[in-house]
Structure 1
Amino acid sequence: MSRKRVVVTGVSALTPLGGNVSDSWDNLLAGKSGIGPITLFDAAGFDSRIAGEVKGFDPEAYGIPAKQARRMDRFVQFSVAAGNMLVKDSGLVIDESNAARVSVILGVGLGGLHTIEVFHSRLVEAGPNKVSPFMIPMLISNMAPGQVAIATGAKGANMVLTSACASGTHAVGMGFTEIVMGRCDACITGGVEATVTPMGISGFTSLKALSTSHNDEPEKASRPFDKDRDGFVMGEGAGFLMLESLEHAQARGATIYAEIVGTGASDDAFHMTAPRDDAEGMIASMRRAIEDAGVSPDVVDHINAHGTSTHLNDLCETNAIKQVFGQRAYDIAVASTKSQTGHLLGAAGGVEAVFSVLALHTGIVPGTINYTTPDPECDLNYMANGPQKLDPQYVLSNSFGFGGTNGSLLFKKFTA
């Protein structure tokens, strides 16, 4: 018996490239960088003083009352804003007739780091009685899907996945699986993160993970696959998809952006932060997504790479792609949109899934900026010349995280 087909009927995004999906996509294709000096706190004295911030974000402009916004960490504000935009874009009316069949499954990497910092300072300076009763519900990761459900009325499964930089990808994969299994008809899914904070920046800098050599030229700092890369750039934002069973989407006459046909996951079981040298887990993740779709690797035209701009990740992902696709790997358009957004941690997989869907919907594959000094070990087609109208039929989106956790999604151009 054939399984349910799952389609994408809505997309939304808040990224360093724009406060909505349209602006983010347009600026991505224009080759713009969303990375600049940190403005969310005073970064003087930090080794890394740049980030991909969501600029000028005002919760009230996204339908979140000021009083309510004050009781949400920034990542939760992003979630509600993206959720509201997503429901509008999808045209799905959520009411008592269908609310129990609409789920919310989101990926979050670190959660309310800003709130923890604020109230820890208050605790130290003024004592325990000055810690707000709203602190815990402001910062816990499941408030992302929880507040989205409150805002939209969705009453199906509500959960958060936390698997480092693969969180958003794993959430989309779970949303897809829930619909295939018949547990819901629609799912609000994706990833969200807001950790451009003193602790976030200093913690990743201490790990030697962040770029520190381009503070005066932030737009050049994120350099996936480039020989002169020296670390990733922290980003923030949200990327959400509305997934629906095909029959549900067609019954209401929904616009269909693309189809999601496979999901894969694996773990390296190797190291806290470093990938395996042989890229075994990355290879398994990609192969499982392709096998889940029941297709050959030969159908994949475009890969939205994890491509963090760190030496080991870029090298291992390149080698993994070669292992999965063989000689044909050199013909695939491989792009890292992190070159323009920075690394959004738990939100990365959600945002990159949105970009993958839009590549299928528009036929345009984005490029990789700052690939100016080729690395002999990273020798695939990274779209260094910018976006091209390639009309891809299948797009693979990769996310690989600390702890060796790996996730891949396979999307297909929709045909009835």
Structure 2
Amino acid sequence: MTHPRTDTEVVVTGLGMVTPAGCDRESTWSAIRAGRTSAAPDPALAGLPITLSCRVPDLVGDRPILHGAGSAYLDPVARFALAAVAEALEHAGLGPQSWDGGRVAVVVGSGLGGLTTQDTALASLAEGGAGSVSPYFHPGYLINMAGAQIALRLHITGPGLTVSTACASGATAIGVARDLLAAGSCDLALACGAEAGISRLTVAGFTQLGALSPRGSRPFDTDRDGFVIGEGAAALVLERADHAAARGVRPLARLLGYGASTDAFHVVAPHPRGEGAQTAILCALTDAGVMPRQVDHVNAHGTSTPDNDRIEAAVLGRLFPHRPPVTSSKGVTGHSLGAAGAIEAALTVLAIRDGVIPPTAGTEHITPTIDADADIVTRTERPVPVRTALTNSFGFGGHNAVLVLAAP
């Protein structure tokens, strides 16, 4: 999908994260830079063929946004989203007292919605019949409810959207939010990716597809054999540049481009030559007005599955012969599914901020063909001035979403 070029400059002014690596932005970033994996045996998955997961540590309960009527019944996906948004707004110096709620948009990306609420309701139905199902089932389970809770608790009455493009959902949400700003539908947007999909059924299904590793994530490694399921959320505060300037705020980064495509090849397998991924990358670069040689860093989708990593690296080799340094954060966080694109976009902003490319955790021996195509950063972080960066997100169903971010 190409976008008409617009003179509207959109900037990132706040970041918030809740991940298996930490319940805030800087603790997550510290673990990513250190290459410290969060994968561990999960007691809730005991008895299944795969028992590894990357769980978010317990959220601290003193965040005001997590309190109030109905908070006890919030699904974890909404709790993750709310906590990430609250941190992003604090980072940006924004809140309901400082805005016209009708000029604020909320766009949330999620692949699965409130699975914990669903599991609880199914168990209640089986044990006690229909009358035992909580009236909070639908408000917790429906996929739009994380976004609805954000709007409700922050008094936001502008556009509210939930997008679902599987593992590309978080990046798609950021792109859609950018487009709302460019269209003049809002002055600022809260873009969030959130997922709380670690359940026995989800893990069993991915196991049957051969997608999960029993040993740990190792993106682009010769011995990669699947991903580790994760969870979490990230939120980005996006504003028109003139709106941020009027507030006297220096942006963290500029969101220059967004590209999207669909493979139309297979329900779960990527196109064997990565044609859809390549199209999305080229659309994002065109939208940004950036030449491939200007890209200094790529945050790869890098799932640690055999086909995805090989195909993604081949696309990068074709488009970026100057070999910008590449990383995947999934060795630390696991694959957080619909939240991954937003988490990785936030990490890309931090790479721009600090001028450092984190290592690809778990990766020791890069497949030779991949090594020929892409410069994968491993073992330790690499100091690199990052002016322009790309972040890739690809999902089941052939959904591809790519973002171009640049230094302010």
Cα offset, 1:190, TM superposition: 2.3
For structure 1, the 5+ residue unaligned runs are 215-220
Work out which of the residue numbers 203, 206, 215 in structure 2 matches 1:204: 206
Cα offset, 1:323, TM superposition: 2.0
Within 5 Å, give how 1:79-228 maps onto structure 2.
79-95=81-97, 98-212=100-214, 214=215, 221-228=216-223
Work out which of the residue numbers 27, 30, 43 in structure 2 matches 1:26: 30
Assess if the C-alpha contact under 8 Å between 2:65 and 2:153 holds in 1. no
The residue number in structure 2 matching 1:356 is 348
Letter in structure 1 aligned against 2:31:
N
The residue number in structure 1 matching 2:10 is 6
Assess if the C-alpha contact under 8 Å between 1:304 and 1:334 holds in 2. yes
Assess if the C-alpha contact under 8 Å between 1:9 and 1:256 holds in 2. yes
Partner Cα distance (2:93, 2:50) in 1: 42
Map Cα deviations across residues 386-407 of structure 1 (whole Å, 9 max, x no partner).
2122011111000000001000
Assess if the C-alpha contact under 8 Å between 1:399 and 1:408 holds in 2. yes
The residue number in structure 1 matching 2:285 is 290
Change beyond 3 A, Cα 1:369–1:62? farther
Partner Cα distance (2:318, 2:288) in 1: 19
Partner Cα distance (1:85, 1:96) in 2: 16
Letter in structure 2 aligned against 1:130:
S
Partner Cα distance (2:81, 2:325) in 1: 31
Cα offset, 1:58, TM superposition: 4.0
Within 5 Å, give how 1:312-323 maps onto structure 2.
312-323=307-318
The residue number in structure 1 matching 2:403 is 409
The residue number in structure 2 matching 1:217 is none
Partner Cα distance (1:146, 1:401) in 2: 24
Map Cα deviations across residues 22-61 of structure 1 (whole Å, 9 max, x no partner).
100111112211111214x2x2211111111101224444
Partner Cα distance (2:380, 2:326) in 1: 11
Map Cα deviations across residues 226-258 of structure 1 (whole Å, 9 max, x no partner).
010111000000011000000000101123100
Assess if the C-alpha contact under 8 Å between 2:85 and 2:234 holds in 1. no
Letter in structure 1 aligned against 2:365:
T
The residue number in structure 2 matching 1:57 is 59
Cα offset, 1:313, TM superposition: 0.4
Assess if the C-alpha contact under 8 Å between 1:31 and 1:386 holds in 2. yes
Cα offset, 1:361, TM superposition: 1.2
Cα offset, 1:296, TM superposition: 0.7
Map Cα deviations across residues 68-118 of structure 1 (whole Å, 9 max, x no partner).
332211101111111111111110233485211110001001111111111
TM-score (norm: length of structure 1): 0.94
Letter in structure 2 aligned against 1:133:
P
Work out which of the residue numbers 224, 238, 246 in structure 1 matches 2:241: 246
Assess if the C-alpha contact under 8 Å between 1:13 and 1:21 holds in 2. yes
Assess if the C-alpha contact under 8 Å between 2:364 and 2:379 holds in 1. no
Q: Percent identity?
A: 38
Assess if the C-alpha contact under 8 Å between 2:298 and 2:326 holds in 1. yes
Assess if the C-alpha contact under 8 Å between 1:282 and 1:320 holds in 2. yes
Describe the SS at the equivalent of 1:7: strand
The residue number in structure 2 matching 1:371 is 363
Cα offset, 1:66, TM superposition: 7.2
Assess if the C-alpha contact under 8 Å between 1:83 and 1:152 holds in 2. no
Partner Cα distance (1:341, 1:129) in 2: 39
Partner Cα distance (1:347, 1:285) in 2: 19
Letter in structure 1 aligned against 2:172:
H
Partner Cα distance (2:195, 2:36) in 1: 21
Cα offset, 1:16, TM superposition: 0.7
TM-score (norm: length of structure 2): 0.96
Partner Cα distance (2:347, 2:378) in 1: 17
Superposed CA RMSD in Å reads 1.4
Change beyond 3 A, Cα 1:59–1:202? farther
Runs of 4+ in 1 over 3 A off after TM superposition: 58-63
Map Cα deviations across residues 362-383 of structure 1 (whole Å, 9 max, x no partner).
1111111222122122112110
Cα offset, 1:136, TM superposition: 0.6
The residue number in structure 1 matching 2:319 is 324
**Bigger Cα displacement from structure 2, 53-62 vs 181-190:** 53-62
Assess if the C-alpha contact under 8 Å between 2:34 and 2:359 holds in 1. no
